[in-house]
């Protein structure tokens, strides 16, 4: 992809360019916990967004999306925000870098990627992190630390894309390390790399290709529920809440808010259980918690959908060790921990059954845990 992007860059802008990349992510467990100060357990994957870039000596950014075959040009002041969503990610990263005292000058860029869109693999975080990393290298002598790079991406989502997301996706995209999952404590931002060596198992994603366009920003609504409950409990985030505490205020909050908070409190513990189990090589416990997460996301947090519930049921019927909806929800994919000897049977069954019911097969995405943001050298 590097040579291809550089060739397109030369054709469009007439100069050489440097190439940067950042990765999409999976998350083994710990969903909707990041903005609640809880734990997450993601890793970067071998699917990237790559950007060829060169400084252009003006005060304008000229960006070409090779995948969309679209071009945008914008300045670097707040009033220069482009209308196109894809360009707003790049603009947001520029603005958030500048807001933190960083330098950004005009540049040209051509970018493309192979992170499946809408599958819950954080293609937008990969895009943000690739540019945050690039601007740090090109204009700021790499003086902006890695956490700040992740926060630049997160603030881009908040301030330029309307998603009040947590830090997980950008964190994973920036900090990703080959063959390692990362347990992040989203309250203290302490993190630990866990080598992921599931001998005899495969991690596979099944993309339902379903994306439910929901009105009302349901993601932001979930976050608001959690914040309401935290407020009612008098704690900063649900990280500091227990089920006993929640039961103590049950009559002061709606059933819906109760359910949301119950899920988050349970999920917090499940991440810790999975990390312990992984260290002992106890994949049965890992898988059990994955199924419990799915159930919670479906019944209590209500971010699943019939298609993803169906994929989860098929996994269970096939004897798959662990399976759950991954990412923010409302469509996308399931992540499955499958014994190698079951893999072929599971994939064939899932394809046939899903196709029979929904008229198309889910897309199989094999992932390798890989490095996060970097400069692409030969």
Q: Please give the residue ranges that form the binding site for ligand GLA (CB under 6 A).
A: 31-32, 34-35, 122, 165-166, 168-169, 327-328
The residues assigned a catalytic role are 169
User: Residue 312 and residue 332: Cα distance in Å, rounded?
Assistant: 13
Q: How far is the CB of 266 from ligand GLA (least distance, A)?
A: 14
For ligand GLA, which is the closer residue by CB, 165 or 274? 165
- Tell me whether residue 168 or residue 305 sits nearer to ligand GLA (CB atom): 168
Q: Is 264 in contact with 238 (CB distance < 8 Å)?
A: yes
The residue written with tokens 């950007």 in the block is 51
| Residue 338 backbone class (left: φ over 0; alpha: ψ -120 to 50; beta: rest) | beta
User: Which of 240, 127, 215, 206 lies closest to 174 in space, CA to CA?
Assistant: 127
Q: Residue 109 or 154: which CB sits closer to ligand GLA?
A: 154
Q: Which residues contact 126 (CB under 8 A, 6 or more apart)?
A: 22, 23, 24, 25, 47, 48, 49, 113, 115, 173
Give just the sign of the alpha carbon dihedral 249, 166, 368, 370: negative
Q: Where are the alpha helices (DSSP H) in the chain?
A: 2-13, 85-99, 123-139, 146-160, 168-175, 218-233, 243-248, 255-280, 283-295, 306-317, 340-358
22 three-class SS: strand
> Directed axis angle between helix 168-175 and helix 146-160, to 10°?
140
Pick the closer one to ligand GLA by CB: 169 or 207.
Answer: 169
Nearer to ligand GLA, 166 or 287 (CB): 166
- Which two three-digit tokens encode residue 45? 């994957």
When the beta carbons of 40 and 311 are compared against ligand GLA, the nearer one is 40
- Give whichever of 110 and 261 is closer to ligand GLA, judged by the CB atom: 261
* Minimum distance of ligand GLA from residue 240's CB (angstroms): 18
Residues 67 and 53: beta-carbon distance below 8 Å: no
Shortest Cβ 122–ligand GLA spacing (Å): 6
Strand duo 322-325 + 363-366: pairing: unpaired
Least separation in angstroms between residue 19's CB and ligand GLA is: 25
CB of 206 to ligand GLA, least distance (A): 18
Q: Are 233 and 246 in contact (CB under 8 A)?
A: yes
Angle at 182 between CA 27 and CA 152, to 5 degrees: 85
Nearest-approach distance from CB 42 to ligand GLA, in angstroms: 9
Whole-number minimum distance, CB 327 to ligand GLA, in Å? 5
Spacing of C-alpha 28 from chain mean position: 11
Distance (Å, rounded) from C-alpha 126 to C-alpha 372? 9
Q: In what order do the strands lie in the sheet with 331-339?
A: 322-325, 331-339, 201-211, 363-366
């Amino acid at each position: 992809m590097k040579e291809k992007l550089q060739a397109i860059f030369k054709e469009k802008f007439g100069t050489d360019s440097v190439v940067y990349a950042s990765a999409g992510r999976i998350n083994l467990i710990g969903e909707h916990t990041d903005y609640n100060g809880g734990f997450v357990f993601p890793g970067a994957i071998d699917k990237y967004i790559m950007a060829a870039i060169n400084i252009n000596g003006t005060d304008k950014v000229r960006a070409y999306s090779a995948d969309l075959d679209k071009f945008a040009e914008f300045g670097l002041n707040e009033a220069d925000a482009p209308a196109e969503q894809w360009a707003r990610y790049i603009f947001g990263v520029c603005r958030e870098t500048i807001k933190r005292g960083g330098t950004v000058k005009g540049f040209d860029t051509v970018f493309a990627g192979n992170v499946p869109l809408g599958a819950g693999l954080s293609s937008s975080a990969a895009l943000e992190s690739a540019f945050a990393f690039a601007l740090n290298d090109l204009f700021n002598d790499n003086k902006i630390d890695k956490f700040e790079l992740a926060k630049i991406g997160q603030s881009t989502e908040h301030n330029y894309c309307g998603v009040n997301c947590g830090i997980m996706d950008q964190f994973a995209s920036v900090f990703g390390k080959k063959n390692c999952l990362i347990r992040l404590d989203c309250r203290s931002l302490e993190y630990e790399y866990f080598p992921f060596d599931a001998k005899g198992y495969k991690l596979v994603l099944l993309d339902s290709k379903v994306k439910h366009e929901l009105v009302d920003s349901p993601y932001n609504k979930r976050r608001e529920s959690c914040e309401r409950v935290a407020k009612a409990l008098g704690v900063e985030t649900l990280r500091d809440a227990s089920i006993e505490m929640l039961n103590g205020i049950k009559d002061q909050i709606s059933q819906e808010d109760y359910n949301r908070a119950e899920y988050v409190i349970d999920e917090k513990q499940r991440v810790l259980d999975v990390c312990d189990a992984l260290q002992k090589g106890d994949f049965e416990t890992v898988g059990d918690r994955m199924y419990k997460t799915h159930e919670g996301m479906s019944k209590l947090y209500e971010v699943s959908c019939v298609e993803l519930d169906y994929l989860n049921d098929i996994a269970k019927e096939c004897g798959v060790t662990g399976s759950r909806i991954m990412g923010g929800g409302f469509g996308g994919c399931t992540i499955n921990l499958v014994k190698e000897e079951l893999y072929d049977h599971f994939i064939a069954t899932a394809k046939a059954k899903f196709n029979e019911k929904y008229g198309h097969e889910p897309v199989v995405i094999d992932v390798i845990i890989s490095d996060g943001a970097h400069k692409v050298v030969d």
